[in-house]
């Protein structure tokens, strides 16, 4: 079943704010929260993530029904990519080196900002590229 395209963009906007705060404060706890949010989105789909729930219950009823939909697999893959980067960032902030935390969190922030600000989902594009490559190989 396809999903409302506004949901992942809302989640990306919240993620952008969270990751920006992590970069400013160096908070491993806040990055741990974001890592959990990515894990839930990767495991259950973006609708089952905390930001998906917030969009579905608080935002969507106020902005009206969706007019555009997308397949759920690319955003779910993007959540898994975010999970990898947030996990690396968490390792860096918790155990070191600090540059790993900064670099991985910065990369995740850049991807989230692209989606939130411009509607360009880098992880979704990676998903489509992987699909094309595996179809050719198979």
Give me the pLDDT at residue 131, please.
Answer: 95
Give me the pLDDT at residue 137, please.
Answer: 79
Give me the pLDDT at residue 135, please.
Answer: 86
Peptide bond into 14 cis (omega under 30): no
DSSP 5: T
Give me the pLDDT at residue 14, please.
Answer: 99
- E-strand stretches of 1-138: 3-4, 69-70
Angle between helices 98-118 and 73-95 (to 10 degrees): 150
pTM of structure: 0.95
Q: Tell me the C-alpha distance between 117 and 115, whole Å.
A: 6
138 half-sphere exposure, CB direction, 13 A CA radius: 6
Give me the pLDDT at residue 34, please.
Answer: 99
Per domain, the residue ranges of the chain are 3-137
Low-confidence ranges of the chain (pLDDT < 50): none
Give me the pLDDT at residue 42, please.
Answer: 98
Give me the pLDDT at residue 67, please.
Answer: 96
Q: Reduce the DSSP state of residue 70 to 3 states and report it.
A: strand
């Amino acid at each position: 079943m396809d999903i409302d395209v506004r949901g992942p963009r809302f989640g990306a906007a919240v993620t952008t704010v969270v990751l920006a705060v992590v970069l400013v404060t160096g908070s491993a706890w806040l990055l741990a929260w974001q890592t959990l949010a990515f894990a839930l989105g990767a495991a259950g789909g973006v609708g089952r993530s905390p930001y998906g729930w917030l969009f579905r219950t608080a935002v969507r009823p106020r902005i009206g029904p969706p007019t555009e939909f997308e397949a759920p697999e690319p955003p779910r893959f993007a959540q898994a990519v975010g999970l990898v980067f947030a996990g690396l960032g968490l390792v860096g902030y918790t155990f070191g080196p600090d540059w790993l935390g900064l670099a991985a969190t910065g990369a995740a922030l850049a991807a989230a900002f692209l989606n939130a600000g411009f509607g360009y989902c880098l992880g979704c594009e990676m998903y489509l590229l992987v699909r094309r490559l595996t179809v050719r190989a198979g």
